[in-house]
Structure 1
Amino acid sequence: MLTCKSNYFKLSELMAAAAAVQVGNLPSKFQRFLPSAPKIAARIKANPAPLFVSTNPSDVNLHRLRELYAVCDHSCHRFPNTDGEGRVEPVDALKLSTALSHSSVVVSVFTNAESAGGDWIRKVTPKNGRLIGFGRAVSDLGLTASIYDVMVHPYYRGKGIGRTIVKKIVRMLIGRDIYDIAALCKDRERLFFRACGFGDDMLGATTMMYTAAAAASSEEEDMIVAGRKLLLLPPQRQFKQK
């Protein structure tokens, strides 16, 4: 936090100072901060708005979380229904509430939407902030855990928020003496989780999903062919975009 006789400089003034440094024309009122101006500019560029990272599940508003799922086009279902534009169906509120209540770790990230345009140093809280990031883990509380639903609002991606969420989850699990931590991810998410410290199982284990053999299936069961396996599908639901 940058102060001068208890007076705060606004983000716009700091941005102007950083720009002036690059052209060698720093206003006199900023001369005293000349040595630290490059660091200030880098800090503003890397984190233009303050963040609040919460590990308290009660800080998560279910309605806002559903909105984040929607804007991230993220589904909790392995085989989600989609609308005519290819967007996944909204997450079921009751099931999401149940999932949260049984999650061992819940991490949410908030920012102040107003801060980007003015008051940079205003304190962000879950009450006045906007939910822009989320992730959770389920565990047996003794030996193993799995990470799910890591997502960041598209506008705030590329700023390290997703990695912050994963690392926070991992630290909390390790703090509970749980080291067998997995992340079930799609192919396009593998590089992200590798950057967070995840890799292939050193024991050569492969994730296997529940399957149903054709001989055990009935006419009422919906199946999908995946390689040489038949995967059992959940009952189809009507999804109409509102």
Structure 2
Amino acid sequence: MWRQVGFPARNPEKLVRALSHTHRTLWIRSTRKSRMARAGQLLGFCRATSDGALSATIWDVAVHPAWQRSGLGRGVLERLTARLVAEGIPNITLFAEPNVVGLYEKLGFIRDPVGVKGLAFQGKLPAVKPLMLL
């Protein structure tokens, strides 16, 4: 499903490690065979990392292309967000593709609340001088 929704390819070992360090996951599978899905096929998924107390970040929200615009994305996000709030986690963030920002806003997410600007570091570290230990 990752490739079908346009997510970048991921190293399987790293994906297993990421999932094992995930605070909460939520997925939807088909319960029976239909013209749009096999029995047991993954239809929707999302996950959250968290410190379990103050903040959480939602990642990897994906809905199989045949099921997009059916409410599954809204459903997984509503349920995952409600679970995090019920755990007492007050700050929930997520990263969004530009074409789905409107959905997240309808669910109560706010772009840059109170002037907070999100930053991301990706790639190689700049060259630094080694530390001298005395």
Specify the TM-score bucket, using the shorter chain as the normaliser: 0.7 to 0.9
User: Could you list the runs of 5+ residues in structure 2 that have no partner in the other structure?
Assistant: 129-134
User: Could you list the runs of 5+ residues in structure 1 that have no partner in the other structure?
Assistant: 1-67, 76-89, 118-127, 219-242
Q: Is the contact made by 2:112 and 2:118 (CA closer than 8 Å) also made in structure 1?
A: no
* Greater relative contact order, per chain length (Cα 8 Å cut-off, separation 6+): 2
Q: Name the structure where helix makes up a greater proportion of residues.
A: 1
For 1:177-219, what per-residue CA distance to the aligned partner results, in whole angstroms no more than 9, with x for missing partners? 002000112322211211222112432100012379xxx548x
Q: Which consecutive aligned stretches of 4+ in structure 1 deviate over 3 angstroms post-superposition? A: none
2:7 corresponds to 1:74: yes
Q: Is the contact made by 2:5 and 2:64 (CA closer than 8 Å) also made in structure 1?
A: yes
Q: 2:109 aligns to what SS in structure 1?
A: coil
Name the structure 2 match of 1:78: none
Name the structure 2 match of 1:92: 11
Q: TM-score, normalised by structure 1?
A: 0.47
For 1:126-162, what per-residue CA distance to the aligned partner results, in whole angstroms no more than 9, with x for missing partners? xx52111110000011100000100000001111000
2:21 corresponds to 1:102: yes
Aligned partners of 1:217, 1:153: CA distance in 2, in Å? 41
Name the structure 1 match of 2:113: 202
Q: Is the contact made by 2:52 and 2:89 (CA closer than 8 Å) also made in structure 1?
A: yes
Aligned partners of 1:72, 1:169: CA distance in 2, in Å? 20
Q: 2:44 aligns to what SS in structure 1?
A: strand
Q: 2:3 aligns to what SS in structure 1?
A: helix
Aligned residues: 124
Bigger Rg, structure 1 or 2:
1
Aligned partners of 1:180, 1:189: CA distance in 2, in Å? 20
Aligned partners of 2:48, 2:122: CA distance in 1, in Å? 24
RMSD of aligned alpha carbons: 2.1
2:97 corresponds to 1:186: yes
Q: TM-score, normalised by structure 2?
A: 0.82
Amino acid of the residue matched to residue 95 of structure 1? Answer: K
